[in-house]
A and B are shown apart, each in its own frame.
Chain A
């Protein structure tokens, strides 16, 4: 068995070769480097957690990394959840619609396109693929206004669709799906299925999609984060606050203009509330991360 399996875990557990069998020495250098990196990345996140315990006044008058226990945490949570008749909850639901709904839809679109481009050759397939990848280079800032002007005449601005549709195609996602389809869906399996009389469609949805599923989770996560982070598109498209995603809504609350005071402590409470489920999603999906085959297959 040892001859066959040489997994990561196994080689880690194997007795070290310096003559001290069974000694499980800790490699301090990489461990410490990683911990330094973790501190670098976590301190700002930690700041959010601490700041969430502070009132707007305390935010500016108490030391940044010392939490407050004056009950501001509770009032921040209540404050953000009841702000403007509970609109934050509405924004959160919208974000779920945009990020999860848009993420799923675009994952399937990318999977279909990637599979077709990776496993078939047809007229113009190379050209289509190149054009798709080229789209990565177009900055969203450039596209936002023309997108708005093109959607307005058909009455699609200020609707869920105006935020969903332009984000449904992610060139990078299609690129990943194509490469993954090439690597994971073997021609032999497809050929065997054809000999068994399966239709091309059946091969796609019962074999192709299944084999590609690890990549699809990655693509979904990338797309999910992309939509979740996108600020500019909803900013341009939406007027109705009821349709805002969280980023846009909370941005409006901290904007330093107009007659509206900035609501730092409420927004920080809101960020806290939105990061927690996100971290949970990532913790639970972490083991599905399969970028390896994707990036391993990338040749430039």
Chain B
């Protein structure tokens, strides 16, 4: 740019920027007017959440919650929360997935809720570990989403397979049978676009991508367990036994409809999505535990699952926490979450509520669907901790594995790329990495 231009702009701009810096601390999402009513804002993308919020608002005229549906979810949303946090414009309450909690803490987007919430004992240690760091609890866990294998019972039977694969060896054998009978058909897809799908499989295999001692991190994304998972899928892809395309693509949607893809390794939430992905196949799907590495091993990973966090920008953290607590730690709140938003509660105490006796509409032929979820949830295993830059890791996974699938190159190398990108970013930010 022109030097003169730069100099001419520097002065007014400096003023503007200074103004930005000063005022950044002064605004916030929540407001209360003269009448003593506290108004809260709540960002959440779950379908049906509006009904939960409506119920709260009717019962609590003094604390009114306004639901905001975000334009982007996942890391697009978290990044926006970080930007908005700097600008002071965050909502009071935000829905955040477990892997992003450390990122939110290190950017000071959410605050500990220990002093507001007493019912954290309802949660198992396994779940609490995901939100409790250095003795403080950041947010209230809402749901837990174990990985589940969904498969087309009718098409499995047509291929002569009477029960879902119990082990990964059986999965590979079934994949060969299905593809052998009809070369257009695949047992499922390898999803290079969904990092949490892969991390869920790695969790199950016993991987431990991040761990910490004191304030020193260990990053081990290409550990033996993850390599085992990567090799397994590369083998299936090389033999053309699984489809290579990402889930939710138009191709995948079509294949799900036409029955060319007969299974989906997904999360507990899949029955919320399947009705719009493949409405005409309702009742033909069944859910089963994801195959295990050794027969009888029940350990399982997760894909998804959210925490309701109270933001640092909130002027009414106590009221915000009260709402969050009601939603996740009262029978009324949980009941609404289950029936209106099809949430599977994170706290074991509520995993056998009467509302869970009915399966989601799409799984009507499997009345014990939620009992299966409760059973899976009790065997969930996660990494010690999610890295403070899991977003970088996830991005690197999609890029590296997408490329490896596209170019048919080694998954081992892709894994190494992910490991190196993750470590490099943590070091660059100033974390101590062993």
Tell whether any CB of A sits under 8 Å from a CB of B in the complex: yes
Point out the residue from B71, B80, B278 that lies within 8 Å of A60, measured CB to CB. Answer: B278
- A261 and B272 within 8 A (CB): yes
1/0 per position for B256-287, CB-CB distance to A under 8 A? 11100000000001001111111110000000
Q: How far is the CB of B113 from chain A (nearest CB, A)?
A: 23
A240 interface contact, C-beta 8 A: yes
Decide if A262 touches B16 in the complex (CB within 8 Å).
no
> At the interface, yes or no: B378 with Cβ under 8 Å from chain A?
no
Q: Are A257 and B276 in contact (CB under 8 A)?
A: no
In the complex the two chains form, what is the Cα distance from A255 to B45 in whole Å?
12
Q: What does the 1/0 interface line of B81-103 toward A look like (CB < 8 Å)?
A: 00110111101000000000000
A265 → chain B closest CB, angstroms: 9
Does B14 interact with chain A (Cβ within 8 Å)?
A: no
Judge whether B45 and A261 touch: CB under 8 Å. no
Please tell me which one of the listed residues B1, B84, B279 contacts residue A57 in the complex, with CB atoms under 8 A apart: B279
Complex-state Cα separation, A258 to B277, whole angstroms: 14
Interface locus among B21-29, B156-164, B317-325: B21-29
CA distance A270 to B272 in the complex (A): 23
Q: Which of A154, A238, A257 contacts B74 (CB 8 A)?
A: A257
How distant is the Cα of A263 from the Cα of B47 in the complex, in angstroms? 12
Which residues from A are CB-within-8-Å of B71?
Answer: 235, 238-239, 241, 244, 248, 251-252
Q: How far is the CA of A60 from the CA of B255 in the complex (A)?
A: 8
Question: Are B86 and A239 within 8 A (Cβ)?
Answer: no
* Complex contact B277–A148 (CB within 8 A): no
Asked whether any CB of chain B lies closer than 8 Å to the CB of A286, the reply is: no
Return the contact of B20 from the options A153, A158, A262 (Cβ within 8 A): A153
Fill in one digit per residue for A106-147: 1 if any B CB lies within 8 Å of its CB, else 0.
Answer: 000000000000000000000100010010000000000100
Residue B73 interfacial (CB < 8 Å): yes
Whether the pair B73, A257 counts as a contact (CB closer than 8 A) is yes
Contact between A239 and B83, CB atoms less than 8 A apart: no
A97 to B365, CA, bound (A): 48
Q: Which residues of A contact B180 (CB under 8 A)?
A: none
A149 touching B20 by the CB < 8 A rule?
A: yes
Contact of B253 among A60, A241, A252 (CB under 8 A): A60
Q: How far is the CA of A59 from the CA of B250 in the complex (A)?
A: 10
Whether B276 lies near A263 (C-beta < 8 A) is yes
For residue A44, CB closer than 8 A to chain B, the reply is no
- Number of chain B residues close to chain A: CB under 8 A: 53
Q: Which residues of B contact A236 (CB under 8 A)?
A: 80
Residue of A nearest to B1 (CB): A134
Mark out the residues of chain A between 230 and 244 whose CB falls within 8 Å of any chain B CB in the assembled complex. 235-236, 238-241, 244
**Contacting pair B83 A149 (CB below 8 A):** yes
A240-274 CB mask vs B (1 if < 8 Å, else 0) is 11001000100110011111111110000000000
* Interface assignment of B70: CB less than 8 Å from any CB of chain A: yes
Is B73 touching A255 in the complex (CB atoms < 8 A)? yes
Q: Does A43 contact B (CB under 8 A)?
A: no
Interface string of B2-34 (1 = CB under 8 A from A): 101100000000001101101110110000000
Q: Which residue of A lies closest to B43 (CB)?
A: A239
A256 nearest in chain B by CB position = B248
A150 to B21, CA, bound (A): 9
State whether the Cβ of B254 lies closer than 8 Å to any Cβ in chain A.
yes
Residues of A within 8 A of B72 (CB): 235, 252, 255
- State the CA gap A60–B259 with chains docked (Å): 11
Residues of B contacting A71 with CB < 8 Å? none
Q: A152 interface residue, CB < 8 Å from B?
A: yes
Q: Do B68 and A241 have beta carbons less than 8 Å apart?
A: yes
Cα–Cα, bound, A131→B8 (Å): 12
Chain A residue with Cβ nearest B25: A153
Pair count A-B, CB < 8 A: 115
Closest chain-B Cβ to A150's Cβ sits at a distance in Å of 6
Whether, in the assembled complex, B240 has its beta carbon less than 8 Å from a beta carbon of chain A, the answer is no
A259 touches B272 (CB 8 A): yes
Rounded to whole angstroms, the CA-CA distance of A218 and B334 in the bound complex is 57
Would you call A56 and B276 a contact (CB within 8 A)?
yes
Q: How far is the CA of A277 from the CA of B47 in the complex (A)?
A: 31
Is A170 interfacial (CB 8 A cutoff)? no
Provide the bound-state CA to CA distance between A256 and B45, in Å: 12
- B-contact 0/1 string along A49-70, CB 8 Å cutoff: 0000001110111000000000
Would you call B62 an interface residue if the criterion is a C-beta within 8 Å of the partner chain's C-beta atoms? no
Nearest A residue to B66 via CB reads A240
In the complex, what residues of A have CB within 8 A of residue B4's CB? 127
Contact in complex: B22, A61 (CB < 8 Å): no
- B276-A259 in contact (CB<8A): no
The answer to whether A258 and B73 touch across the interface, beta carbons within 8 angstroms, is: yes
In the assembly, what is the distance between CA of A248 and CA of B76, in Å? Answer: 14
**Contact of A60 with B256 in the complex, beta carbons under 8 Å:** yes
**Residues of the A chain whose Cβ atoms lie less than 8 Å from the Cβ of B69:** 241, 252
A157 interface residue per 8 A CB criterion: yes
Contacts of B250 in A (CB 8 A): 60
Contacts of A261 in B (CB 8 A): 47, 272-277
- Cα(A10)–Cα(B124), bound, Å: 86
Docked Cα-Cα span, A59 to B257, in Å, equals 9
B43 / chain A contacts, CB cutoff of 8 Å: 239
Decide if B331 is an interface residue (CB 8 Å cutoff). no
Judge if A197 is at the interface, Cβ distance under 8 Å.
Answer: no
Q: Is B46 an interface position by the 8 A CB rule?
A: yes
A239: nearest chain-B partner, CB-CB: B68
- Give the residues in chain B near A127, CB-CB below 8 Å: 4
Interchain CB contact under 8 A, A131 and B20 = no
Once A261-B272, A263-B276 are accepted as A-B contacts, the answer to whether A150 and B45 lie under 8 Å apart by CB is no
The one of B27, B91, B248 in contact with A262, judged by C-beta atoms closer than 8 angstroms, is: B248
**Residue of B47, B68, B91, B253 touching A260 (CB-CB under 8 A):** B47
**Nearest-CB residue, chain A, relative to B70:** A239
Of A61, A244, A248, which is within 8 A of B280 by CB? A61
- Chain A residues with CB under 8 A of B22: 153
B23 and A154 contact, CB distance less than 8 A: yes
Contact A260 B73 (CB under 8 A): yes
User: How far does the Cβ of B216 sit from chain A's closest Cβ, in whole Å?
Assistant: 33
Residues of B within 8 A of A264 (CB): 253, 276
- Is A61 in contact with B87, judged by CB distance below 8 angstroms? no
User: With A and B bound together, what is the CA distance between A13 and B26 in angstroms?
Assistant: 72
Which has the most chain B C-beta neighbours within 10 Å: A59, A148, A259?
A: A259
Besides A153-B88, A259-B47, 4 new A-B residue pairs in contact (Cβ under 8 A), listed by A number:
A149-B86, A152-B84, A239-B71, A260-B45
26 residue pairs of the A-B complex, CB under 8 angstroms, read: A57-B257, A61-B257, A131-B5, A134-B1, A149-B83, A150-B16, A153-B20, A153-B88, A235-B72, A236-B80, A239-B91, A241-B69, A244-B71, A252-B72, A255-B73, A258-B46, A259-B45, A259-B46, A259-B273, A259-B341, A260-B45, A261-B47, A261-B274, A262-B248, A264-B253, A264-B276
The 4 A-B residue pairs with the shortest CB-CB distance, nearest first, are: A152-B87, A153-B23, A256-B248, A258-B73
